[in-house]
Chains A and B, each alone.
Chain A
Amino acid sequence: MTEQLDVDSLIDNPDIQVIVCCGSGGVGKTTTAAAIAVRAAERGRKTVVLTIDPARRLAQALGLRELGNTPKEVEVDGFEPDGQLSAMMLDMRRTFDDMVLAHAGEKRAQEVLANPFYKTISSSFSGTQEYMAMEKLGQLAGEGRWDLIVVDTPPSRSALDFLDAPQRMSTALDGRMIRLLSGPARSGGWGIRKVVGAGVMLFAKAVSTIVGGQLLADASAFVQAFDSMFGGFKQRARKTYELLRSSGTSFVVVASPEPDALREASYFVERLASESMPLAGLVINRTHPVLAGLSATKATAAADGLDSRGASPLAAAVLRLHADRVAVRERERRLLARFTKAHPSVPAVSVPAMPSDVHDLPGLRTIGEQLAGTGLPARN
């Protein structure tokens, strides 16, 4: 039997300073992060939650009406936590701009901001959101104003992107490759050219032709302007990565009881283990526990009996919807069993589906209770 994930002991542990909620898109990461943050604040911690792309009404539940990009204290009627809760939404373009402005000289910064290559990379590069989430996490951690930071991760297809994208981005911004491609002759001191020689020349020429000389020139200008700050940039990314590996961080992997989501969760758990990153456990969102001890076969047979006599349509409907629910639960159990068989030591907790979407504080509280295992006990 898999151990139960104990969210309260996680958020009550003063040594835990960062909780990262990961998982593939559409599994309820943002809601889970918000629920954990609300509960942590109510249990006395000075908490900030960094959300990436919250549903509008969830954002409103946290009092976030606009994209502020800086944490704002949550002040909602009926919310008087022992601790404190601030919330923010990540604005990746502004985070990137701020970073450039803070770390390049005035003139350099303007050059970078005006560069067409920068404009695309800061708004549409596939890893930018992940990179900026990391950057923001690093900033929040550096400010030291909170004792717990709860992080939601970008809605990528793969949970692994959160860990991999910054590296990809770093490679893209690393001047070496661009220098190599835009001017092979000038990169003579760099070893790789000697290794592959003519191949690189040809490749550089091909890349230049394919992506167009202008783009490469823009990229090159960008890299030159960016070069002076690149070291610091990379160093901060490394520092944040180290923060993720420290004992003060804990990962909560979120999944829904669907094959894809659980497969992603599986990959992520394995990856965390190989990176020695601390895993708190798995949250399975939106499960459908069965609330009455009646088998599907019996329920369906009884419903068939009632229908054939044309008797009690309400009772027959109740029996059929119960049978549907048992079937759904069985499927969820099978899927979950597959995960726990592969990862028997990962603590897990199920959060039953709420009948409607969660977009207010009481809803987040209820989820928090389910996460802590103090909600209504689910039968079966």
Chain B
Amino acid sequence: MSTPVVGWTDQVARARLHVVTGKGGTGKTTVAAALALALATGGRRVLLVEVEGRQGIAQLFDTNPLPYEERRIASAPGGGEVRALHVDAEEALLEYFAMFYNLGFAGRTLRRMGAIEFATTLAPGLRDVLLTGKVKETVGRTDDNGRHMYDAVVLDAPPTGRIVKFLDVTKAMAELAKVGPIKGQSDGVVRLLHSGDTAVHLVTLLEEMPVRETIEAVAELDGADLRPGVVFLNRVRPPRLPARSVTPAAGGRVDASRVRNGLTSAGLDLSEEDLDGLVEETVEHAIRVLAEQNAREQIAEVDLPAVELPDVTEGIDTAALYELAEAMVEQGVR
């Protein structure tokens, strides 16, 4: 099915690095994984990167914990492929050392001593510099023919509260470390993250707090000259009540006798208590629907394209990821 592209603008489609952030609990890892599948649909190769050490990707795809290497994790409709990478800051630092200093054996010893852990905590941000540095390397990597190794890279990034610090720490670092190879690397990362090759997507629920955090994060991204991409409205549930009934019901006015009559005509004979329960559930549902409408209006203020994802009541498994990816593709994700 092809629908007019509203959610996925040409500008967003041009990005090769898709950073996915969101308030804790909004499902950003799920959205990142589904986005990787959606982008891989039709035969492309996409890398899904995790930097928070949570092994959330492995859990979503129901595989063993990911090592520090890129490995195929799923195939996408139309011959596409998703690979996954769990970036570990210590491993990245050792890799870095190996590249520049041929540290080999001593590296392992130092690791046992905790010196690597120390070095990554010594310079606040060094950890993030290494993580973003690795991400940049995967975005820029080319094969023998000079073609990009990955058509797109999706980063399951830190939550909204830390996202700008995470993405911009490189800049802080570049100012702090005035010379040295890390400075050169930082400059490259800063260029990538602030360019049209990068889009920062925000995942939110239609709830007050996540929406507020999203609005704040967009302002913060704008302020740091980072580019917000789309807002993913996650776990959207169908409104069940007829529109005209919502406001009265939210105010506690549900016509119980009409409900009772309707139930009787459907062959259901419920106790008073159960009927009261249904009415209470209806009131709560209506209050939530109103709150969601409110949240929708507020999120519209950030003036970003939106992509809607349905709530998967049974919980997220690999099959559900494909469903979400399909919903994304239908809304223009490409």
Docked complex: A328-354 residues within 8 A CB-CB of B: 328, 331, 334-335
Interchain Cβ contacts under 8 Å between A and B, 14 examples: A25-B161, A157-B158, A171-B118, A196-B110, A199-B106, A200-B106, A203-B97, A210-B180, A261-B25, A292-B277, A293-B274, A293-B277, A305-B266, A311-B266
- Give the segment of B78-86, B169-177, B190-198 that binds chain A: B169-177
A26/B109 in contact, CB under 8 A: no
A residues with a Cβ closer than 8 A to B are 24-27, 53, 55, 116, 120-121, 124-127, 155, 157-158, 168-169, 171-172, 177-178, 181, 192, 195-196, 198-200, 202-203, 205-207, 209-215, 219, 256, 258-261, 263, 290-294, 298, 302-303, 305-306, 311-322, 324-325, 327-328, 331, 334-335, 355-357, 379
Q: Which of A121, A199, A322 has the most CB of B within 10 A?
A: A199
- Provide the bound-state CA to CA distance between A298 and B267, in Å: 10
- Provide the bound-state CA to CA distance between A205 and B106, in Å: 13
Q: A120-B124, A355-B287 are in contact. Are A327 and B266 (CB under 8 A)?
A: no
Judged by a CB distance under 8 angstroms, whether B275 is at the interface is: yes
- Residues of chain A with a CB closer than 8 A to B169's CB: 124
- Provide the bound-state CA to CA distance between A66 and B241, in Å: 41
Closest 6 CB pairs of A and B: A315-B262, A199-B106, A25-B24, A312-B262, A26-B25, A292-B277
B122/A259 in contact, CB under 8 A: no
Distance from B172 Cβ to chain A, minimum over Cβ atoms (Å): 7
B266/A210 in contact, CB under 8 A: no
Q: A203-B103, A314-B262, A331-B314 are in contact. Are A322 and B278 (CB under 8 A)?
A: yes
* A171 to B, closest residue via Cβ: B118
Q: A206-B101, A259-B315 are in contact. Are A321 and B25 (CB under 8 A)?
A: no
Distance from A233 Cβ to chain B, minimum over Cβ atoms (Å): 16
B242/A314 in contact, CB under 8 A: yes
- Provide the bound-state CA to CA distance between A168 and B119, in Å: 11
Docked complex: B92-142 residues within 8 A CB-CB of A: 96-97, 100-101, 103, 105-107, 109-110, 113-115, 117-119, 121-127
- Give the segment of B31-39, B218-226, B253-261 that binds chain A: B253-261
Judged by a CB distance under 8 angstroms, whether B148 is at the interface is: no
* B271 to A, closest residue via Cβ: A293
* A259 to B, closest residue via Cβ: B315
- Provide the bound-state CA to CA distance between A315 and B279, in Å: 10
- Residues of chain A with a CB closer than 8 A to B254's CB: 318
* B241 to A, closest residue via Cβ: A317
Distance from A166 Cβ to chain B, minimum over Cβ atoms (Å): 12
Distance from B211 Cβ to chain A, minimum over Cβ atoms (Å): 11
Q: A124-B169, A199-B106, A291-B281 are in contact. Are A157 and B287 (CB under 8 A)?
A: no
Contact of A116 among B96, B110, B176, B271 (CB under 8 A): B176
Distance from A67 Cβ to chain B, minimum over Cβ atoms (Å): 16
Number of CB contacts from chain A to chain B under 8 A: 243
A302/B291 in contact, CB under 8 A: no
B residues with a Cβ closer than 8 A to A are 23-26, 29, 52, 54, 56, 59, 96-97, 100-101, 103, 105-107, 109-110, 113-115, 117-119, 121-127, 158-159, 161, 165, 169, 172, 176-183, 207-209, 212, 237-238, 240-242, 245, 254-255, 258-259, 261-263, 265-268, 270-271, 273-285, 287-288, 291, 313-316
B124/A126 in contact, CB under 8 A: yes
- Residues of chain A with a CB closer than 8 A to B280's CB: 291
B262/A172 in contact, CB under 8 A: no
- Residues of chain B with a CB closer than 8 A to A261's CB: 25
B96/A210 in contact, CB under 8 A: yes
B181/A120 in contact, CB under 8 A: no
B23/A292 in contact, CB under 8 A: no
- Residues of chain A with a CB closer than 8 A to B241's CB: 314, 317, 321
B263/A315 in contact, CB under 8 A: yes
- Provide the bound-state CA to CA distance between A212 and B280, in Å: 63
- Residues of chain A with a CB closer than 8 A to B114's CB: 171
B259/A199 in contact, CB under 8 A: no
Distance from A335 Cβ to chain B, minimum over Cβ atoms (Å): 8
- Residues of chain A with a CB closer than 8 A to B106's CB: 196, 198-200, 202-203
- Residues of chain B with a CB closer than 8 A to A331's CB: 313-315
- Residues of chain B with a CB closer than 8 A to A259's CB: 59, 315-316
- Residues of chain A with a CB closer than 8 A to B122's CB: 172, 177-178, 181, 207, 211, 219
Contact of B237 among A126, A172, A211, A324 (CB under 8 A): A324
* B208 to A, closest residue via Cβ: A357
* B261 to A, closest residue via Cβ: A312
